[in-house]
Amino acid sequence: MGRSLIFASILVLSPAIVLTLTGDNPSAVLVACPNITIYPGNAVMPFGSVLATDDPLTVGPEFTSEIIGNAQGLTVLDSQHELSVVVYLDFGFTRGEFNGSSFGVFTRNTITVACRELAVVGGRGKFRMATGFAELKTYSNSGDGNAIVEYNVTLFHH
Ligand SMILES: *[C@@H]1O[C@H](CO)[C@@H](O)[C@H](O)[C@H]1NC(C)=O
Ligand SMILES: *[C@@H]1O[C@H](CO)[C@@H](O)[C@H](O)[C@H]1NC(C)=O
Ligand SMILES: *[C@@H]1O[C@H](CO)[C@@H](O)[C@H](O)[C@H]1NC(C)=O
């Protein structure tokens, strides 16, 4: 027995996310680190590291771009063999039409691949019952864990 859903709207968003691991005010901090020394790829921390993340979400890829929300959650270095993470992040908006609403991403993120896709698995507020995907492009990467990434998000929501 099945149930079909009729999607009322399709939303395409293209904000950027700014990740900083260094500096006085990092947006991701290491909360757990294993007692091993496997560094997949050129990772700056070992396989199994867990980071608490609160990255600003901006309208554009500059450090000065307007902040419209944040992505909060966990980033886990989950690959033994390559530099890749699994992210459990809630993308919340603090401005505009979607102020107070958020969508959730639970997916692997092959961060060294230039163009990659993430799964959107749900949402709150205006993004209730959302499903979709995000196409990511790394805009800049300093190599020490700091990066600006463009998220082109396509959502089906009510
Ligand atoms: C891991 O823990 C063991 C036992 O405490 C210690 O002997 C070893 O040096 C640790 N290894 C690393 C890489 O820290
Ligand atoms: C966003 O929503 C919060 C909570 O409802 C409200 O306090 C705030 O003023 C809103 N911000 C903007 C820019 O609309
Ligand atoms: C965002 O993704 C949609 C759907 O894949 C595509 O049609 C659109 O051109 C993309 N926009 C940007 C700015 O990359």
Tell me the fold of 14-157.
AOC barrel-like (2.40.480)
Query: What is the pLDDT at residue 4?
Result: 36
Which residue minimizes the CA distance to atom 12 of ligand 1? Answer: 35
> Residue 130: CB partners within 8 Å, gap ≥ 6?
103, 120, 122, 123, 155, 156, 157
Query: What is the pLDDT at residue 120?
Result: 94
36: left (phi > 0), else alpha (psi -120 to 50), else beta? Answer: beta
Query: What is the pLDDT at residue 22?
Result: 66
Query: What is the pLDDT at residue 15?
Result: 67
Query: What is the pLDDT at residue 26?
Result: 80
Query: What is the pLDDT at residue 119?
Result: 95
Ligand number nearest CA of 34 is 1
From the CA of 116, how far away is ligand 3's center (Å)? 13
Ligand number nearest CA of 46 is 1
Which residue minimizes the CA distance to atom 5 of ligand 1? Answer: 35
Substitution site in 66, 67, 94 for ligand 2 pocket (most atoms within 8 Å of beta carbon): 94
5 token code pair: 């859903």
Query: What is the pLDDT at residue 6?
Result: 42
Query: What is the pLDDT at residue 65?
Result: 85
Residue-level pLDDT, tens digit, the chain, 158 residues? 333 334 444 555 566 776 666 677 788 888 888 887 777 777 778 888 999 999 888 888 887 888 899 999 999 998 888 888 999 999 999 998 899 999 999 999 988 888 899 999 999 999 999 999 999 888 877 766 677 888 889 988 77
138: left (phi > 0), else alpha (psi -120 to 50), else beta? Answer: beta
